[in-house]
Amino acid sequence: MVFNSYVFLFLFLPVVLVLFFILGRKNEQWAAYWLLFASLCYYVSWDYRYLPILLTSMLLNYAACSRILAVEQVRRRKIWLTAALVFNLLMLGYFKYANFFIATINGLTGKEMSLLTLLLPMGISFFTFTQIALLVDAYQGKIRALHLDKYLLLVSYFPYIVAGPILHHKDMLPQFSDKNNYRPTATNFAVGVTLFVFGAAKKLLIADNLVPLVDVAFTDSPQFLQAWLGVFAYTLQLYFDFSGYSDMAIGVSRLFGFQIPFNFNSPYKASSVSDFWLRWHISLSRFLRNYLYIPLGGNRNGQVARYRNLIVTMLLGGLWHGANWTFVIWGGLHGLYLCVQHGWQGLRRHKVESTSRLAAFSNRSLTFLAVMIAWCFFRAPNVSSAFKVLAGLGGMNGLSLGTDAQYLEYTVLALGTFIAFYMPNTNELILHLDSRFANTPDSFSILQVRWVPSLRWGVAVGVLLVFCLLTMEQTKDFIYAQF
């Protein structure tokens, strides 16, 4: 049951929402229990076999976290933390990477070990990382107490569990304990519905309509113009698909009164690769920085160690996305990009950086090109296919555009380009009603659009929703749902 389905919009969401606020008027604890039950039902709707895996993960992690909070000896707390981390990594490794390791061993040794028949639980990477962050913070003394019901709700919370954003306990647990969040407000409904419709439009009207252009480029050996057009289309498709899901998740959560942090901030307007990672999949970037890069030593032990930590962090970040060497290479490329950037900045640290528009345009263009090239490995089914696309980009497969793409896809590509590079990001549209994001920079100022809860915006959002509903039956799966 996906967000962009009739069952979710006209059955699940209204029922859960109405009962949540009815119960919230009487007792917010009952409302929280109902939301927990609804979240588990939502998860079961994908496959009932997922539920035992999720419950086992949640209960064992809660038990370990409770022991970490209860014991005073640092050594014993560290033992509990280590055991919990090993459990999480083993579970993630078994369900998500076991066949990848077997296939790799077969390729290296020439053996023919049989692959395992495994069920990959939906959202396992997201709920595992959410729990790892909580365990580490409990060990570091950043958490004093933890209640089972709120913990279970945090981990299973249905708006995020399929494709994120990765939740952090310090953002969500205080909200789950705030009685005011169990009362409906006009602002929450206005912002929630608007965000949901914006996200649905990104997914249904832009991302899904770019698929034909993308498929042409990543099938067989694309020629020069096919390759460039297709890779650029995928660059936009991935952004609108994933940020569309994130906006929908934030919007659904806001209907219930809970604010999930924004996961994107106009990433294709980034002026460097490090700036890109401050804007793209922000929740994952925060996790990798706080729970991997900094514990590895960050930039505290010299440049060589810094480069090593960057490479390791991005390689593991790439592997987090999926059990395929293409993701490892994609992560490694971004690690290399970051090393080159920091090395270049180190060489020029005594020089005054140009602030001209030409310099800004050059930085953004170079960053975007580097990111787009790396997406070739992210999208390709295997490494050899990725290199065929790269060969096409270099003109080694011929120069023809081909006739597979239709005018609709070119129109959507032009529209998506305009929105991705000139329109303010969703968080800028809703900015003035969310004081917690008041410091988010206005990263591009060619076109200013200010959202306000007004009749004009209501009509515009309503029309956009009608277009989304009309195309909902032809929707494609969310790209990040597989991670």
Question: Which of the residues 281, 321, 334, 342 is marked catalytic?
Answer: 321
Report yes or no: 26 and 15 within 8 Å, Cβ to Cβ: no
Three-state secondary structure of the chain:
CCCCCHHHHHHHHHHHHHHHHHHHHHCHHHHHHHHHHHHHHHHHCCCCCHHHHHHHHHHHHHHHHHHHHHCCCHHHHHHHHHHHHHHHHHHHHHHHHHHHHHHHHHHHHCCCCCCCCCCCCCCHHHHHHHHHHHHHHHHCCCCCCCCHHHHHHHHHCHHHHCCCCCCCHHHHHHHHCCHHHHCCCHHHHHHHHHHHHHHHHHHHHHHHHHHHHHHHHCCCCCCHHHHHHHHHHHHHHHHHHHHHHHHHHHHHHHHCCCCCCCCCCCHHHCCCHHHHHHHCCHHHHHHHHHHHHHHHCCCCCCHHHHHHHHHHHHHHHHHHHCCCHHHHHHHHHHHHHHHHHHHHHHHCCCCCCCCCHHHHHHHHHHHHHHHHHHHHHHHCCCHHHHHHHHHHHCCCCCCCCCCCCCHHHHHHHHHHHHHHHHCCCHHHHCHHHCHHHCCCCCCCCCCCCCCCCCHHHHHHHHHHHHHHHHCHHHCCCCHHHHC
Radius of gyration of the chain (CA): 23
Active site (annotated) includes residue 321: yes
Catalytic residues: 321
